[in-house]
Structure 1
């Protein structure tokens, strides 16, 4: 399949050059050329959760780097089509892992159920869909609490590849089995890559590793991490960026 745009041509040429002569400079060039893919996927995922955009974007770059390392330019596949499952997969893994460690208060679960019952009633009364404020008033809670409950439940219910179709535990078909074979194989590879990701984490300086664990495994914001370890939010951001770059280099070296 020939690239159809100058940008695609430029990317393919850069990929071929990188495969022939792998280098940090070449990989970074490919990351810059395909940063738009990461941002596009991050914005889409952002509509399904309440996580900071910056966190999704950083995780997406790790997926992009793995796609760069695994891509074979001779196979005739567009790189964008190949890379998106990696990028999206890493973001969903991050959200799934985080939601598994966060216990949603029973009250918030009950609010979500009550809201589902009230929404059609309010629509009939108002002649339109109720906004956040009207729904919160009907629930008898502050708007802020309703939004927290809603977004927490959204995060909790993001589907994994092992989720049963239709949400039934006794279903014989998983979500992964409904995906095109090529994409599912990519997602299976992501599971294997997680072991390499753990090894890359172990190679980080302790302070940097702590920041990454707090942000991506414990789900803390940069401000929360800064307060917890006694540094400025700017320092947290710097350590986070440095750590992700070191991990990217480690993952790239593992594929060389």
Structure 2
């Protein structure tokens, strides 16, 4: 047995060296078949730690095996199995994280849920109707309260869809997504309200003062360039801007106080 195992390892290493030197789909597939037992072993172990089917984990594990084959360097002197295990297991764990639920259910309740599905089918055939919670709890040898908690946890384990209906009206249906605030829209709405308030405040200014502020803050001109445009000195432009800002603040403050009071 030891001789056979050593022979397989030697053959596998030869194939890995050959693949490193001259990659081909056929040789890669041969390596996958040669190491399929490693994938099955890890999938079997992981399947006992989660509620996902063994077959799904096995298929995902082969992706990890292929990644390991692609990245393995025989010159490093490392055993391929030791190199491949983190890739295979990591691929399965990524899959489980992607499929993970928002609510983490205790392992005992996951087992009860699986067993409950089997017992429910048996009792349905036996009684010709859906079994009650008391009958299910008796069949599983647990309390009625625990069985109800298991059912509730299973219903709540997946996040709600934003398309889920929360209210029906005569001519339309309101979904969960419709009730959620759009933060980006709210931000744009606030910006638009601020813009309108600033425009109203600027409309109260004397024309040259308003022009100076617009040229400097909106058009990016220097105070010297503005002075040339409106026919005054740069110092005068600075004074006009300072006075205009003070006037705008005085105009806006009562409105800000009023808005805060309304909120």
**TM > 0.5 fold call:** no
Greater relative contact order (CA < 8 Å, ≥ 6 in sequence): 1
TM range (shorter): 0.3 to 0.5
Please tell me whether Structure 1 or Structure 2 has the larger radius of gyration of its CA atoms: 2
TM-score, normalising length: structure 2? 0.42
